[in-house]
Structure 1
């Protein structure tokens, strides 16, 4: 099997699986308990928190452990909006955010907040001048993802952070779920106030996320009923998951530069192969992540392509895994200006550490065969 769906989830490191099993066996006490077993578990969490801060080079904030990227995004956005609504009720995000961000802003609109959804260029990038035009003295939060989860566009996070330093009332949230372990992320240097991550996107376990909260920022909690995680997230912490996640983060960061060097030529090879198939259209443009390629077969339902690739032992996806079962065009593709037909026929390929050039060649050959088989059915499957 060739697994090309790393944006949805990644195979965990073997060492991470072993660590999680060991901690599950030895540290099963509730870390909030006052007895020794509880305090031992709590010490493991705090040690993991310190290691997380060290790995991502943060000294001026705290890390909150959550259940994943979706919760981290919700806590950051709703937490700031509800806590600081007295300062202003204007929020800014983009038209191409992950559903866990986009739909969170839609909920806040129902609560009386005004949201500006910034357009993007044809390549899928935010324009700094449009962001600056959207800022007002009522803006309390700007949320922009680092790497888009569908087309891989890399947003100018450093430049946005530099701009927002002139607007101290506006806090800056970054969804870095697809970028941590893939690109350098300089949280404090770039002026980021809140940053979301997810362990299973970087070869850690599912069910663990993390959220950076700059010192001085207070969040209105989503959950109540306990004082865990500095009062930001009530509930018993996932001790084995947290320990294993921080180990996965360390391992991913240690191989970050090597990963980028390996994946960039693989992406270029696949672009070359896809460009040789006239029926397919590439979506997005550089600067983009090395591990993501998105293309469309206009006039063809993407799930047909996905299932035909699966029959050949190749796993890919249509769009975000959270939205892949929705039978409607990609919101992200529509935002970059492609036709409705092209936006409805998108397929995402996302690489991992295990891939080599021969895997890309095999994928290219499979795509060519699938397209040849589908051409006679093109009109009937739209």
Structure 2
């Protein structure tokens, strides 16, 4: 099987799985317990927290372990908006965010916040002119994803941050689920206030991730109970998942440059190959993450190609995994004003450093075969 759907999820590294089993076997005490076993388990938890903080360049008290990207994004949107609502009630969200951000923003509207959505251009990039015109003195929160999960477009985060600081006191949240492990992500590189990371996108375990805050940034909890995670996320912390999350983040960060080069080489090769077909339009912009190539076949539904490739043991996606089983058109493609001839035929290839050049060459042969059957090209 050739697996080119790594933006949906990645295969967990064996050493991450081994670590999860080991910690479950040796450190299964509740880290909040006052006995020595609980203390030892808590020390392991705090070591994991420190390791994440060191990578992201913040204090360990600003690292909150969560169940993954969706929870981290919900915590960021609700927690930051409510924490700083004394500054105003205006919230800006980009039009191409993940549903975990968009749906949270819509709920904020029901709670009385004035939420506006930042448009993007035809390449999927945030319009800096639009964000400048939308920013107000009472803007309290801006949320923009670093890399779009459907197109791979890399947003101009620091340019946006400069605009935010010039016109408001808003906190800036960046969803880095698709960028961490492919691009440098930390509070020194990006001038943001909050970062979301998900483990299973970088060869870690599902059901785990982090929300990390910068410096003096504070947040209001959305879960209440025993006050775990510094009172921000109540509930007994899964130490095995936290340890594995920290290890996954460290591994992805330490091999970042090498892995990114591997993925970029493969996706560049794929783009060159796809451009030879007259009926194919490359959706991903030139300024894209190294692991994603999105394209469309004119006049053919993406599902047709998905099924054709799957019969040849090639696994790809139509768009984001969250919406690929739904019949509605992607909100990202709508925001980009993609032409009707192409909007239903979008296919996303997403790579891992574990993919190989041999798989790329095999994909070319298989895709050409499928293309000839479906389109006669």
**TM-score class normalised by the smaller sequence:** over 0.9
Moved more, 212-221 or 23-32: 212-221
What's the secondary structure of 1:165's corresponding residue?
Answer: helix
Distance 2:168 2:52 in 1: 27
Distance 1:293 1:354 in 2: 16
> 1:180: Cα distance to partner?
0.8
Cα pair 1:318 1:324 within 8 Å, conserved = yes
1:215 aligns with 2:215: yes
Report the equivalent of 1:90: 90
What's the secondary structure of 1:166's corresponding residue?
Answer: helix
What's the secondary structure of 2:166's corresponding residue?
Answer: coil
Report the equivalent of 2:15: 15
> 1:284: Cα distance to partner?
2.7
Report the equivalent of 1:154: 154
Distance 2:21 2:166 in 1: 48
Moved more, 258-267 or 144-153: 258-267
> 1:167: Cα distance to partner?
4.2
Cα pair 1:152 1:289 within 8 Å, conserved = yes
Report the equivalent of 2:309: 309
What's the secondary structure of 1:159's corresponding residue?
Answer: helix
Report the equivalent of 2:328: 328
Distance 1:126 1:30 in 2: 44
Distance 2:304 2:326 in 1: 14
Report the equivalent of 1:242: 242
> 1:188: Cα distance to partner?
3.9
1:194 aligns with 2:194: yes
What's the secondary structure of 1:150's corresponding residue?
Answer: coil
Report the equivalent of 1:265: 265
Q: Which runs of 5+ in 2 are unaligned?
A: none
Report the equivalent of 1:41: 41
Q: What number of residue pairs does the alignment pair up?
A: 377
Cα pair 2:58 2:214 within 8 Å, conserved = no
Offset from partner CA, 1:60-103 (integer Å, 9 cap, x none): 96111000000000000111112222321111111111111111
Report the equivalent of 2:173: 173
| Correspondence 1:275-286 to 2 at 5 A | 275-286=275-286
Cα pair 1:283 1:333 within 8 Å, conserved = no
In structure 2, the CA distance between the partners of 1:272 and 1:174, relative to structure 1 (3 Å rule), is same
1:274 aligns with 2:238: no
TM-score normalized by the length of structure 2: 0.96
What's the secondary structure of 1:163's corresponding residue?
Answer: helix
Cα pair 1:61 1:212 within 8 Å, conserved = no
TM-score normalized by the length of structure 1: 0.94
Cα pair 1:58 1:188 within 8 Å, conserved = no
1:99 aligns with 2:99: yes
> 1:111: Cα distance to partner?
1.5
Report the equivalent of 2:110: 110
Report the equivalent of 2:163: 163
Offset from partner CA, 1:112-170 (integer Å, 9 cap, x none): 21112111121111122221111001100010000000000000112222332334520
Distance 2:336 2:296 in 1: 13
Report the equivalent of 2:290: 290
What's the secondary structure of 1:293's corresponding residue?
Answer: strand
Cα pair 1:99 1:323 within 8 Å, conserved = no
Cα pair 2:49 2:60 within 8 Å, conserved = no
Report the equivalent of 1:365: 365
What's the secondary structure of 1:232's corresponding residue?
Answer: coil
What's the secondary structure of 2:375's corresponding residue?
Answer: helix
Moved more, 60-69 or 227-236: 60-69
Offset from partner CA, 1:159-193 (integer Å, 9 cap, x none): 22233233452000000011111101131453211
Distance 2:278 2:290 in 1: 23
What's the C-alpha RMSD, in Å, of the aligned pairs? Answer: 1.7
Report the equivalent of 1:351: 351
Report the equivalent of 1:139: 139
> 1:212: Cα distance to partner?
0.9
What's the secondary structure of 1:229's corresponding residue?
Answer: coil
Moved more, 94-103 or 161-170: 161-170
> 1:59: Cα distance to partner?
4.0
Report the equivalent of 1:379: none
Distance 1:124 1:174 in 2: 16
Large movers: runs of 4+ above 6 Å: none
